[in-house]
A and B are shown apart, each in its own frame.
Chain A
Amino acid sequence: MTVFNLSKIAVKAMARNKMRTFLTMLGIIIGVTSVITMLAIGQGSKQSIQEQISSMGANMIMVHPGSDVRGGVRMDPSSMKSLTLDDLSAIRRYATHLSALSPMVSSGGQVIAGGSNWPTTIQGVGEDFLMIRKMEVAEGVMFTDYEVKRAAKVCLLGQTVAENLFPDVENVVGQTVRFKNIPLKVIGVLAAKGQNTFGQDQDDVILAPYTTIQKRIMAITHIQSIYASAESEGVSEQAEKEITMALRASHSLADDEEDDFNVRSQQELINTFSSTSEMLTLLLGAIAGISLLVGGIGIMNIMFVSVTERTREIGLRLAVGGRGRDILSQFLMEAVIVSVGGGLFGVLLGLALAYGMGNMLDWPVVVTNHSIVISFVVCAVVGIFFGWYPARKAAGLDPIEALRYE
Chain B
Amino acid sequence: MENKIIRIANLKRDFSVGIETVHALKGVSFDVLEGEFVTIMGASGSGKSTLLNILGALDRPSGGDYLLDGTNVGTLTKEQLAGIRNRKIGFVFQSFNLLARTSALENVELPLMYNAKVSPRERREMACHALETVGLADRMGHAPNQLSGGQQQRVAIARALVNDPVMVLADEATGNLDSKTTLDIMGLFQKLNSEGKTIVFVTHENEIAEYSNRTIVLKDGEIVKDYTNQGRQAILD
Q: Which of A193-201, A279-287, A320-328 contacts B (4 or more CB under 8 A)?
A: A320-328
Contact B113–A5 (Cβ < 8 Å): yes
What residues of chain A lie closer than 8 Å to B93, measured between beta carbons? Answer: 403
Tell whether A321 pairs with B116 under 8 Å between CB atoms, given A12-B106, A312-B97. no
Q: Is A316 an interface residue (CB 8 A)?
A: yes
CA distance A317 to B82 in the complex (A): 10
Q: Is A134 an interface residue (CB 8 A)?
A: no
Contact A321–B102 (Cβ < 8 Å): no
Q: Is A381 an interface residue (CB 8 A)?
A: no
Q: List 18 additional A-B contacts (Cβ < 8 Å) besides A320-B91, A321-B82.
A: A1-B114, A2-B116, A16-B100, A16-B101, A317-B114, A318-B58, A319-B58, A320-B85, A320-B110, A320-B111, A320-B114, A321-B114, A321-B163, A322-B86, A323-B78, A323-B114, A325-B79, A403-B97
Contact size range, B: 20 to 34
Tell whether A400 pairs with B58 under 8 Å between CB atoms, given A16-B102, A313-B99, A320-B86. yes
Q: Is B115 an interface residue (CB 8 A)?
A: yes
CB within 8 A of B85: which of A9, A313, A319, A403? A319
B56, B78, B87, B110 interface centre (most CB from chain A within 10 Å): B110
CB distance from B48 to the nearest CB of A (A): 14
Contact A323–B97 (Cβ < 8 Å): no
| B33-73 interface code vs A (CB 8 A; 1 in, 0 out) | 00000000000000000000100101100000000000000
- Nearest-CB residue, chain A, relative to B160: A320
Contact size range, A: 20 to 34
Q: Is A81 an interface residue (CB 8 A)?
A: no
What residues of chain B lie closer than 8 Å to A346, measured between beta carbons? Answer: none
Contact A322–B102 (Cβ < 8 Å): no
List 29 A-B residue pairs with CB atoms under 8 Å apart, sorted by A's residue number.
A5-B114, A5-B116, A8-B113, A9-B113, A16-B99, A16-B100, A313-B99, A316-B97, A318-B58, A320-B86, A320-B91, A320-B110, A320-B111, A320-B159, A321-B82, A321-B83, A321-B85, A321-B86, A321-B87, A322-B82, A322-B86, A323-B78, A323-B83, A324-B82, A325-B79, A326-B114, A399-B58, A400-B53, A403-B93
CA distance A82 to B114 in the complex (A): 86
CA distance A270 to B102 in the complex (A): 61
CA distance A316 to B160 in the complex (A): 12
CB within 8 A of A323: which of B58, B79, B113? B79
| B174-197 interface code vs A (CB 8 A; 1 in, 0 out) | 000000000000000000000000
CA distance A1 to B79 in the complex (A): 13
CB distance from A13 to the nearest CB of B (A): 8
CA distance A8 to B82 in the complex (A): 20
What residues of chain B lie closer than 8 Å to A12, measured between beta carbons? Answer: 102, 106
CA distance A325 to B83 in the complex (A): 13
Contact A317–B101 (Cβ < 8 Å): no
CA distance A312 to B144 in the complex (A): 15
